[in-house]
Amino acid sequence: MTAPSRQKTLYAIFGNPINHSISPVIHNAALKNAKINGIYAAFKTETAQDAVKMIKELDIAGASITIPHKTDIIKYIDKIGETAKEIGAVNTVINENGLLFGTNTDAGGAIKALLQHTEIENKNIAILGAGGAARAVIYGVNFKKGKVTLLNRTVDKGEKLAKEFNVNFMPLSEINSEIKKHKFEIIINTTSLGMKGCEDQSPIKKESLNKDIIVMDIIYNPLKTKLLKYAEEKGCKTINGVSMLVYQAALQFELFVGIQAPIDIMKKAAEAALPAS
């Protein structure tokens, strides 16, 4: 007896934990809208190696890779793109007839989210945080020739990252006093301050903000972080975390299926799946 052939092309996200991921909601909305006979599933995997094994065994056509596998997966895939190599993280894997190609759409997603509201070139941009997400954001903003100052709580970690990407560094504790002095035009939070579980924390005091600053938070749960609430109250233009999340997913979708992503559909699906605050 021959095995039944699969009706749908399979796409998936791999991470741990994964049960709160809204990537399936975003990607399935896009697949449905584009009338593609595919389905996007979520798999919890303990290791990056397990994820690679599953991609190959289940013949998954395209995969999103999330925390904690974005760096580890590099050793198990066959090819890696230049952007992913420089960021040091893969968030997208394309299965090219059994050969796995890793790339990164986080940097592109961050840039697209920003470019909806502002130019980047020559802008004074403060990036808060020095974790994995910060690496992609710094890479993207550097690529678009923004003038980056990186601020982080742990000084040696921040200094190391700033050196690697050739940007300025300042301790995060100085952000409130330094905003005016450095004339930051854009502030991007990549720290976990304000995330579900610590919703009432903000890396910046309300009184330190002014209406000329564009404030972006990459946290998407809650949609409106304390920082974004402060920014709104001060009259700042704000960009919430759904923007970067959706644009990085849209870039993945385009790599997976080769057609333009239905951004508005993906954004609506994401917003409907998230609590407002």
- Catalytic positions are 70
List the one residue from 144, 157, 229, 237 that touches ligand ATR (CB under 6 A): 157
Q: How far is the CB of 192 from ligand ATR (least distance, A)?
A: 4
Residues 6+ apart with CB under 8 A from 271: 223, 242
Q: How far is the CB of 121 from ligand ATR (least distance, A)?
A: 25
Applying CB under 6 A, which part among 48-56, 110-118, 123-131, 180-188 lies near ligand ATR? 123-131
35: left (phi over 0), alpha (psi -120 to 50) or beta: left
List the one residue from 18, 130, 215, 251 that touches ligand ATR (CB under 6 A): 130
Total count of residues recorded for the chain: 277
List the one residue from 153, 182, 234, 237 that touches ligand ATR (CB under 6 A): 153
Task: Note whether 14 and 66 are within 8 A (CB).
Answer: yes
Q: How far is the CB of 193 from ligand ATR (least distance, A)?
A: 5
Classified as helix, coil or strand, 248 is helix
Backbone angles phi, psi at 75, to 5 degrees: -75, -15
Any contact of residue 131 with ligand ATR (CB under 6 A)? Answer: yes
Q: How far is the CB of 158 from ligand ATR (least distance, A)?
A: 7
Of 87, 94, 86, 44, the residue nearest 69 (C-alpha): 44
CB atoms near residue 150 (< 10 Å): 25
The token pair that represents 64 in the structure block: 């999103």
Nearer to ligand ATR, 9 or 192 (CB): 192
Q: How far is the CB of 169 from ligand ATR (least distance, A)?
A: 12
CB atoms near residue 269 (< 10 Å): 23
* DSSP per position, 76-87: GSSEE-HHHHHH
Any contact of residue 152 with ligand ATR (CB under 6 A)? Answer: yes
Nearer to ligand ATR, 81 or 171 (CB): 171
Nearer to ligand ATR, 120 or 134 (CB): 134
List the one residue from 15, 38, 132, 222 that touches ligand ATR (CB under 6 A): 132
Residues 6+ apart with CB under 8 A from 215: 186, 187, 189, 209, 227, 228, 231, 236, 237, 238, 239
Show the binding pattern over residues 163-202: x = contacts ligand ATR (CB under 6 A), - = does not. ---------x-----------------xxxx---------
List the one residue from 42, 84, 111, 134 that touches ligand ATR (CB under 6 A): 134
What is the binding site for ligand ATR (CB under 6 A)? 129-134, 152-154, 157, 172, 190-193
